[in-house]
Amino acid sequence: MSILVVADHHNADLVAATANTVAAAQKIGGDIHVLVAGEACQAAAEAAAKLEGVAKVLVADHAAYNHQLAENLAPLVADLAKAYSHVLAPATTNGKNLMPRVAALLDVAQISEIISVESADTFKRPIYAGSAIATVQSSDAVKVLTVRATGFDAVAATGNAAIEAVAQDAQDAGLSSFVGEEIAKSDRPELTAARVVISGGRGLGSAENFAKLDPLADKLGAAIGASRAAVDAGFVPNDMQVGQTGKIVAPELYIAFGISGAIQHLAGMKDSKVIVAVNKDEEAPIFQVADYGLVADLFEVLPQLEQQI
């Protein structure tokens, strides 16, 4: 068996979830190759070559692959896929955008967001917002999978794989073009990779109040997340949303301030190792999953907590 992992990256660096995806590939077993397709993406390729367990990194460097537009990238991946038993990508927005298009070109099914590898053809994945876990078996010739990063511990960056350019007649399909992007700049760790996540909900009350999470986050080196209610209320931008349709996180410590705990939010964080909930409402469903609950006014708790930690 041989496995192709499609890296998610920003040309200059590798997206952390790629290392978790390589870990999932290791569980399947076999030669692991990583594809880095982008433009001027040598640095990302070098980072991929360091991932433990990777035998070879394939680099497709071409303007058509910049920004990972699915229309241009899917034919490349589908073409390479014919030499592999499995094609994996992290379940990031890039991976989820690309892989179904690859699968359709190969006329195979795609299995989304696996959280465990039972055998080379059998995987577990959450359905109904994590209310159930399905075990699915694929008899497709090439198994096309996306991997939920929180299901697998990232491999170490201690490897030294060969890097090889793949000669492809890269073509811009001419269907879509990149215009621009607005990426939130932050000195904080990335939400899905942070050791500690502090999240705020509707209970914060306003965008100004949301900033009151900052001092504690600074002290703990934490990423800041939000519930959908807080995003919909306009307190914070949507890329901070933790939940079924937002980011799936599983940090060592998750602290929820003023979040009631709708099932869609719990789906995004209930695999965290330790959950702390601070809420005025003692009936809030978040307390049903919290290891430590504190029924209190979060605005009184925040400064005290910052002082005492």
Q: Whose Cβ is closer to other proteins: residue 4's or residue 197's?
A: 197
Positive or negative, the CA dihedral 127, 133, 137, 140 is positive
Check whether 262 is labelled as a binding-site residue. Answer: yes
Q: Are 95 and 89 within 8 A, CB to CB?
A: yes
For residue 61, the tally of other CB atoms under 10 A from its CB is 19
Residue nearer to other proteins on the CB measure, 43 or 109: 109
- Residue 250 CB coordination number (10 Å): 17
Q: Which residue has the tokens 């499609």?
A: 6
CA gap 239, 250 in Å, rounded: 16
Please tell me whether 86 is known to bind a ligand. Answer: no
> Looking at beta carbons only, is 61 or 113 nearer to other proteins?
113
118 phi, psi to nearest 5 deg: -90, -40
Give whole-number Cα distances, 168 to 79, 98, 286, in Å. 10, 18, 51
- Residue 69 tokens read as 């537009």
Closer residue to other proteins in complex, CB, 162/207: 207
CB of 176 vs other proteins, minimal distance in Å? 5
Q: Please give the Cα distance from 159 to 35 (Å, whole number).
A: 16
Measured from the CB atom, the residue of 158 and 177 that comes closer to other proteins is: 177
Q: Is 275 among the annotated ligand-binding positions?
A: no
CB of 14 to other proteins, least distance (A): 13
- Minimum distance from residue 252 beta carbon to other proteins (Å): 5
Distance CA 284, CA 260 (A): 5
CB of 9 to other proteins, least distance (A): 12
* 245 annotated to a ligand binding site: yes
Whether 259 has a binding-site annotation, put simply, is yes
Q: Which is closer to other proteins, CB of 176 or CB of 206?
A: 176
Query: Considering the complex, what minimum distance in angstroms separates the CB of residue 198 from other proteins?
Result: 12
Residue 3 and residue 25 in contact, taking contact as beta carbons nearer than 8 Å = yes
Minimum gap (Å) between residue 152 Cβ and other proteins: 16
Asked if residue 228 belongs to a known ligand binding site, the reply is yes
| 170, 65 Cβ separation under 8 angstroms | yes
Q: Has 188 been labeled as part of a binding site? A: no
Residue list for the binding site: 202, 227-228, 241-245, 258-265, 279
Residue list for the binding site for FAD: 202, 227-228, 241-245, 258-265, 279
